């Protein structure tokens, strides 16, 4: 159908349609109707590139709308498979799956039930962080909260609803099954909760964590990550191996596909390394591909990095992950909201992604196909009011389809660490000392070539002519200077001094 300024009377239209229908094959009228609808849809489709001309705030809003309409991330599960949620520390039977409220209901209702209980416990959360700073009543409250978190039937939503109703974790711990079912509405789950409340299990978990150098943080503790408190359903308990200070800003999440290309890994290493050198904590998920490249680059740069796991910290990882986890623990922290020996499952990764974005000021998606867990992290970041960056990729590459879609819908462009640092208000720290040492180690010829290159681009032919070098010698020296990050190559065989 084409829009036209001319009109016809109803009689003329009926005659025309009747005449057109004569001699048609069965189904042709329906096919033509579909064709007309497609024509109208095509004519009304906005022109490509419109998002680039929108103001930044409007673009971010458009990105949020597009992301949540097309692919809403899973909320923290209302109930999971009990075999997946079962912890070896305190095994118990689970109950059937229960869906959480939709996004709007979840956000409003969950803030209410979390806040009603937490306000009454704020003094304990803001006073001391060690056991010696807590009273006996506060220590009991904390132990009951950990114990409830270990029961498979107690999901975050159920836990906060019970805490809000009964007023404390200790009261919830001793509540009878009849009172529990009046809150959660499930007799089977109530029976599992009553059977799973075992303080000896809590003692066992605390001893195991202490033996392995793992700290247990609860939302009642003063050193609980502040970035997680505003979440609709903040993790009530966290398990941390490393330094809690690394969970504080400034921190940037660098995420992407597990099946990263060479390009994706190289960009992840460059971004993460530069962010780490600028004093930013690099946050990622300890997965293969982009995550592993980002963690490794941050450690190699001598910076800090945090890995947020989708399983328990004592779950046995593949050998390559164990080695990387050990390096991360010595240069940052390992973090999980799941019981110590819990195995990963499909639902645990979308759930942990809200923690990954929650402790970060912004999220950078380096490389991601159209359906990627990294996009779920970006969607969580949007819900939390965080900036989302994407690295442009080859338009013919499926591995970059997700990133390019984010950019189309208004995400910020990340081509270097400076793009991200500028947005979060952090000034990049120059590596003057390291560069001075690199310059001292240059040979005389290499130093002479470096002296020819300033902040204005110089062509390789000019370098050859001024230095009396052969093309092969010049190319080798320029490569050495690039590897030391003293110069940068531009298009057309031109070079410029790295600022």
Considering the domain architecture, whether residues 367 and 451 belong to the same structural domain is answered as no
User: Three-state DSSP class for 238?
Assistant: strand
Q: Are 411 and 377 in contact (CB under 8 A)?
A: no
Contact (CB, 8 A) for 271 and 417: yes
Q: How far is CA 74 from the centre of its chain?
A: 13
Question: Domain with 291 in it: what CATH number?
Answer: 3.40.50.450
φ, ψ of residue 20 to 5 degrees: the values are -70, -30
Q: Which two tokens stand for residue 11?
A: 């009689």
Residue-level pLDDT, tens digit, the chain, 499 residues: 433 333 444 444 444 443 344 334 444 444 444 444 444 333 333 333 333 334 444 444 445 444 444 443 443 444 333 333 333 333 332 333 233 333 333 443 444 555 555 555 554 444 445 555 678 888 999 999 999 999 988 988 899 999 999 999 999 999 999 999 999 988 999 999 999 999 999 999 999 999 999 999 999 998 899 999 999 889 999 999 998 888 888 899 999 999 998 888 888 998 999 999 999 999 999 999 999 999 999 998 899 999 999 999 999 999 999 999 999 999 899 999 999 999 999 889 999 999 999 999 999 999 999 988 899 999 999 999 999 999 999 888 899 999 999 999 999 999 999 999 987 777 665 554 455 556 777 888 888 888 888 766 788 899 998 888 899 988 888 888 887 778 877 768 888 776 4
Q: Which residue has the tokens 């010696």?
A: 132
Does 276 map to a domain? yes
What three-state secondary structure class fits 139? helix
CA dist 185 and 337 (Å) reads 25
CB contact at 8 A, 391 and 406 = no
* CA-to-CA separations, 339 to 50, 208, 348, in angstroms, rounded: 46, 11, 12
Q: Give which of 42, 51, 29 is closest to 2, Cα–Cα.
A: 42
Tokens representing 198? 């075992």
Does 409 map to a domain? yes
Are residue 397 and residue 452 in the same domain, yes or no? no
Are residues 348 and 253 part of one domain? yes
**Residue 461, H or E segment:** helix 460-467
β 251-255/281-284 pair status: parallel
**What pLDDT, on the 0 to 100 scale, is given for residue 111?**
47
Residue 378 is assigned to a structural domain of this protein: yes
Q: Is residue 418 located within the same domain as residue 464?
A: no
302 and 318 share one domain: yes
CATH number assigned to the domain comprising residue 452:
1.10.10.10
Alpha-helix runs per DSSP H in 301-431:
319-330, 348-358, 373-383, 401-408, 417-424
Residues 344 and 283 in one domain: yes
Q: Specify whether 251 is located in the same domain as 135.
A: no
Same-domain check for residues 417 and 439? no
Let me know: does 311 contact 336? Beta carbons within 8 Å: yes
Task: Please give the angle made by the CA atoms of 157, 314 and 224, to the nearest 5 degrees.
Answer: 50
Report the pLDDT value the prediction gives residue 449, as an integer from 0 to 100.
87
Quote the longest CA-to-CA distance of the chain.
93
Looking at residue 191, what is its pLDDT? 92
**Are 170 and 275 in a shared domain?**
no
Residues 305 and 359 in one domain: yes
Q: How far apart are CA 82 and CA 344, in angstroms?
A: 13
CA dist 173 and 175 (Å) reads: 6
Q: pTM for the whole thing? A: 0.67
- Does 325 share its domain with 440? no
C-alpha to C-alpha distance for 463 and 453, rounded to whole angstroms: 8
Structure tokens, 28: 């042709």
Predicted pLDDT of residue 62:
46
Whether omega for the bond prior to residue 250 falls within 30 degrees of 0, making it cis, is yes
Whether 416 and 446 share a structural domain? no
Rounded CA separation 269/293 (Å): 5
The last residue of one of the domains, among 375, 402, 424, is 424
Domain count, the chain: 3
Domain coverage including residue 449: 432-497
DSSP string across 287-320 = -TTHHHHHHHHHHHTT--EEEE-SS-TTSPPPHH
Last residue of a domain, which of 392, 424, 456? Answer: 424
22: exposed, middle or buried (C-beta count within 10 Å: 0-12, 13-18, 19+)?
A: exposed
299 belongs to a structural domain: yes
Residue 15, domain member (yes or no) = no
Sheet with 362-365: list strands edge to edge. Answer: 215-218, 237-242, 332-336, 305-308, 281-284, 251-255, 362-365, 387-390, 412-413
Say how far residue 397 (Cα) sits from the centre of its chain.
22
Q: Are 306 and 228 in contact (CB under 8 A)?
A: no
């Amino acid at each position: 159908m084409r829009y036209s300024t001319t009109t016809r009377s109803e009689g003329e239209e009926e005659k025309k349609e009747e005449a057109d229908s004569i001699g048609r094959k069965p189904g042709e009228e329906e096919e033509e109707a579909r064709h007309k609808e497609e024509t109208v849809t095509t004519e009304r489709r906005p022109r490509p590139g419109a998002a680039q001309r929108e103001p930044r705030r409007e673009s971010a809003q458009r990105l949020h709308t597009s992301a949540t309409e097309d692919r809403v991330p899973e909320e923290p599960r209302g109930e999971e498979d009990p075999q997946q949620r079962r912890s070896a520390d305190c095994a118990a039977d689970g109950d059937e799956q229960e869906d959480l409220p939709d996004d709007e209901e979840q956000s409003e209702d969950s803030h209410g039930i979390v806040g009603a209980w937490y306000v009454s416990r704020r003094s304990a959360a803001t006073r001391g962080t060690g056991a010696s700073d807590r009273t006996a009543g506060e220590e009991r409250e904390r132990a009951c909260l950990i114990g409830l978190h270990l029961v498979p039937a107690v999901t975050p939503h159920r836990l906060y609803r019970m805490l809000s109703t009964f007023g404390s974790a200790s009261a919830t711990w001793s509540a009878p099954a009849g009172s529990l079912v009046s809150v959660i509405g499930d007799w089977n789950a109530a029976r599992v909760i009553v059977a799973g409340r075992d303080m000896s299990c809590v003692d066992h978990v605390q001893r195991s964590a202490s033996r392995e150098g793992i700290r247990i943080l609860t939302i009642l503790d003063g050193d609980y990550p502040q970035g997680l408190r505003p979440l609709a359903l903040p993790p009530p308990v966290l398990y941390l191996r490393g330094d809690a200070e690394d969970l504080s800003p400034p921190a940037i999440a660098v995420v992407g596909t597990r099946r990263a290309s060479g390009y994706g890994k190289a960009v992840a290493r460059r971004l993460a390394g530069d962010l780490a050198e600028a004093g930013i904590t690099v946050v990622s998920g300890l997965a293969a591909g982009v995550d592993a490249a980002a963690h490794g680059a941050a450690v190699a740069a001598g910076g800090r990095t945090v890995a947020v796991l989708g399983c328990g910290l004592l779950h046995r990882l593949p050998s390559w992950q164990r080695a990387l986890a050990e390096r991360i623990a010595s240069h940052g922290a390992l973090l999980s909201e799941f019981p110590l020996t819990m195995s990963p499952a499909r639902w645990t990764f979308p759930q942990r992604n809200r923690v990954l974005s929650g402790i970060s000021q912004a999220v950078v998606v380096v490389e991601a196909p159209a359906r990627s867990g990294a996009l779920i992290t970006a969607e969580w970041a949007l819900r939390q009011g965080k900036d989302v960056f994407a690295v442009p990729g080859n338009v013919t590459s499926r591995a970059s389809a997700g990133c390019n879609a984010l950019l189309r819908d208004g995400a910020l462009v990340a081509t270097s660490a400076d793009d991200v640092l500028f947005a979060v208000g952090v000034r990049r720290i120059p590596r003057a000392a390291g560069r001075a040492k690199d310059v001292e180690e240059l040979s005389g010829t290499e130093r002479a070539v470096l002296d020819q290159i300033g902040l204005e681009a110089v062509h390789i032919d000019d370098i050859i002519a001024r230095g009396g070098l052969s093309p092969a010698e010049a190319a080798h020296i320029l490569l050495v200077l690039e590897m030391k990050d003293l110069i940068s190559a531009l298009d057309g065989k031109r070079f410029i001094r790295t600022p």
